[in-house]
Chains A and B, each alone.
Chain A
């Protein structure tokens, strides 16, 4: 595997379910990101991890819970979601944690549908 991978690619869940999204980067980077992409809206940065430490939480509701056990893996734990949370969730990584200047490399995303 090369680059940034995400699993699952598609996920359908009810509002009472608990699920997790997984991201893995094979680039030797030290920073990882979660973005939400909704139709007709700009990409929304959700979380940033730099050297496994969370450095950004962009006012994300607590029903989204990130976890970064090491610099190569990033998870997004989901619970009690709302239909408006349906979107494409993108993971990205970069060499360091300067998210405004680093080149970010994106995974293919997880298409989440909340029923």
Chain B
């Protein structure tokens, strides 16, 4: 079964600074990878996803993520954060191979809470 680790529970950055949120996954084949963002009191919104092809993926709101197979990582980056980026960020991995058990689930990490200081 797949798993996701987001090693940073909470990150604080200054407005205008660059950001990198870490995500490591465990999965035997090529994974489907997602980053979602959750603002307070809201559901999850998809930022970007990786299925195949170019390993640098562009998303909404100026975010990008890079898939590195050798490191089993899919880190999220933004060159300059805005106060509105304060939220919780979730990395998720899905299976590209259907097992004998049928549909595989989307597995989420525990999230990284991002605080922006002026």
A residues within 8 Å of B by Cβ?
Answer: 4, 6, 40-43, 45, 48, 50, 55-56, 58, 90, 92, 97-109
Looking at chain A's contact residues, the main secondary structure is: loop
Give complex CA distance A101, B32 in Å.
Answer: 6
Contacts between the two chains (Cβ within 8 Å), count:
66
Q: Of residues B36, B90, B105, which shows the largest number of chain A Cβ atoms within 10 Å of its Cβ?
A: B105
Q: Give the shortest distance, in Å, between B9 (CB) and chain A (any CB).
A: 8
Number of interface residues, chain B, beta carbon within 8 A: 27
Q: Are A101 and B43 in contact (CB under 8 A)?
A: no
Answer yes or no: B83 CB below 8 A from chain A CBs. Answer: no
Q: Name which residue of chain B comes closest to A108, CB basis.
A: B43
Give complex CA distance A42, B36 in Å.
Answer: 13
Q: Name which residue of chain A comes closest to B43, CB basis.
A: A106
Q: Give the shortest distance, in Å, between B113 (CB) and chain A (any CB).
A: 11
